[in-house]
Amino acid sequence: MNTQTGQPLLEFVSCPHPEGQHRMAYWRWGDVNARRLVVCAHGLTRQGRDFDRLAQALVSQSPQALQIICPDVVGRGRSDWLSDPAGYQIPQYAADMLAMLGQVNAQMMAQTGDDKPIQTLDWVGTSMGGLIGMVLAGQPGLPLPAPIRRLVLNDVGPAITWSSVQRMQGYVGHFGQFADLDEAAAAMWALSQGFGPVAADVWLDMSAHMTRPGTDGKLTLHYDPAIGVPVRAMTPEIAAAGEVALWALYDQIQAQTLLIRGQDSDLLTPETATVMTQRGPHAQLDTWPGFGHAPTLTGDDQIAVVANFLLGV
C-alpha cells in the first residue's frame, strides 16, 4: 500500500497460456514484505478493487504485519484480454495465481534473503474466486509458497445450481455504453440485487472501478465480453462433470474453511452448504439473512466475520 495516498500498489505478472503470454494485474495492500499474506479473489464479472474495504480493515486490525493481494483475473480490470476466449476458465485462472504467488515470493526472497519468506497464506474467494481457491487448496502438490491455512468461500461450493448458470448465461458479456458513472452504477445494481445491502456511496465507488472509457465520452464495463463464451458453452452434462471434479478437490482441502452463504442465494443451496460442513475440511457455515449471491464483504458486520476468522487464533 502506498502509505502517502492510502491506495493499493498496482503490479503485474506475466503468465503463460497456450497463445503465449498475458499480463495479470494485482493490487497490494499493507506491508509488501509482511510474512502473512491474504489473497482476495473476485467473482465472475468483477475485479480486485471490490475488496478495498475488506483489505484496509484487515491491514488495520491485524496484530502482525500483513499484506493483502487482490488480483484482477485475466480479462478483467487492468489485466490483459485473451485472444482465445477458451482460456477464460478456472484452470487458466489457477495457473495465473500460481505465477503471481511465485513472483511475490521471489520478490520477498530477494528483499529479505529468506528462502521461505511467506509464513502463512490465506484465501478469500467470492463465487468464481472461491472456485479458484478450492482448486489451489485441494491439490497439496502445487508449488504454493505456503499451504493455504484458512480459506473463506463466499457463497460458492463444488455444486452450483443449473438455474444460476442459466442466469449468468443471460447477462455475462452483454453490455453497452453508459452516459456517466451514475447510469453505469444503476445498470449494474439492477443485476446485483443478490449482493444484499450496500451503501449508495460504497456502490458508486465500487462501480467506478468497474468501468473504463468507451466512445464519445461514454463509459463501458471493464471486462472482456468474451469471458461469457465459456459460460454460454456450459451444458448440464459439462456442469455435472465439473461438480464431480470439484468435490474431489474439496475433499482434499486441509485449510480451516469458512463458508458464507447468502440465505437467498440461487447458486449455493442449503443442501450443498450442509454437505460441505460434513466432508472435506468440514467448513464452518455462516448463513446471512438478507443476502443472496453473493455478499460484497463491504459492510462492517460482514468484514468483522471475515476478519475474526482470518485474524483469530
pLDDT tens sequence across 122-153: 999 999 999 999 999 999 999 999 999 999 99
Q: In 3D, which of 68, 8, 71 has the Cα closest to residue 38?
A: 68
Residue 4 has pLDDT above 50, yes or no: no
245: confidence class by pLDDT, cuts 50, 70, 90? very high
Rg (CA), the chain: 18
pLDDT tens sequence across 6-49: 799 999 999 998 878 999 999 999 999 999 999 999 999 999 99
Residue 234 has pLDDT above 50, yes or no: yes
Q: What does residue 271 show for φ and ψ, rounded to 5 degrees?
A: -65, -45
Query: What is the pLDDT at residue 2?
Result: 63
Mean pLDDT of 41-70: 96
Query: What is the pLDDT at residue 214?
Result: 92
pLDDT tens sequence across 269-311: 999 999 999 999 999 999 999 999 999 999 999 999 999 999 9
pLDDT tens sequence across 186-221: 999 999 989 999 999 999 999 999 999 999 999 999
Mean pLDDT of 170-176: 93
Q: How high is the mean pLDDT of the chain?
A: 96
Distance CA 293, CA 221 (A): 20
Residue 5 has pLDDT above 70, yes or no: no
Distance CA 271, CA 278 (A): 11
Residue 96 has pLDDT above 50, yes or no: yes
Distance CA 239, CA 117 (A): 39
